[in-house]
Structure formats: structure tokens, C-alpha cells
Amino acid sequence: MRVTVMNPLVIKRFIQMKLNRVKTDKSDAKMICHYGQEQQMYLWSPSLEYVEDCKQLQTITQLYLKQSTAIKNKLHTLQTRGLKRGKMIRSLKRQLKSLQKEIKLLEIEME
């Protein structure tokens, strides 16, 4: 079987360009067919396994970076309120250190 993968926005813009105002499954299917007939299509092939692995590692790294930023912001808020010590501060610092360690390990894995 041959498969082509397209960005849905490309198809949507094609339909808009053709001034088709009817929005039903049947009319969409016809317009997708017209798009395939008019435009050059490229066959899809799956990414190599290591590429997919790196994408997943990158996604997790980005998640950890967002969490790290949130923790840093919370620490800053607590410290500007005058809390310099305490269980909350220590807990947040432990979490931050753990996240930074995990980020480093994931970055090494991606390399």
C-alpha cells in the first residue's frame, strides 16, 4: 500500500482556494481527491527508530524544562516573601536538582 501524509491545513487552504463552501464528509473527500490529482504527492516512509527515540527524548526534556521553570518561579516567589529556609524551600530545591539531573541524562542519551 502507498501512503502520503499531508498537513491538514494545506488541504484546508486548498479547499478555501477553490471557493468550496460546502462542508460535508463527501465534499471534503472529493476535494482531497482533487488535491491529490492536481498536486505532486510524495510517498511517506516511517522515520528511523533512532529519530523517533530522539523526538520522544526531546519531548520529555522540554516537559522537564517547563517543570524546572515553574519550580524556579515558585522558589523565587517564596524567597521574595521572606522564606529563606523551611521544608517547602528544601523540597523545591530537591525537585529542581532532580529535574536538572534528569535533563542532563536525557541530553547525554540524545547525543
pLDDT digits over 47-78, tens only?
Answer: 788 888 999 999 999 999 999 999 999 999 98
Instruction: State the chain's mean pLDDT as an integer.
Output: 90
- Average pLDDT (12-25) is 87
Considering its fold, how many domains does the chain have in total? 2
Is the predicted pLDDT of residue 83 greater than 80, yes or no?
A: no
Task: Examine the domain organization and report whether 54 and 41 are in the same domain.
Answer: no
Task: Examine the domain organization and report whether 41 and 55 are in the same domain.
Answer: no
Q: Containing domain of residue 65, as a range?
A: 49-110
- Average pLDDT (32-41) is 91
Task: Examine the domain organization and report whether 28 and 66 are in the same domain.
Answer: no
- Judge contact between 11 and 35, C-beta under 8 A: yes
Q: DSSP string spanning 53-108? A: HHHHHHHHHHHHHHHHHHHHHHHHHHHHTT--SSHHHHHHHHHHHHHHHHHHHHHH
Contacts 24+ apart (CB under 8 A), 91-95: 95/71
- Those residues whose C-beta lies under 8 Å from the C-beta of residue 100, and which sit 6 or more positions away, are 68
Q: Is pTM, for the whole model, over 0.75?
A: no
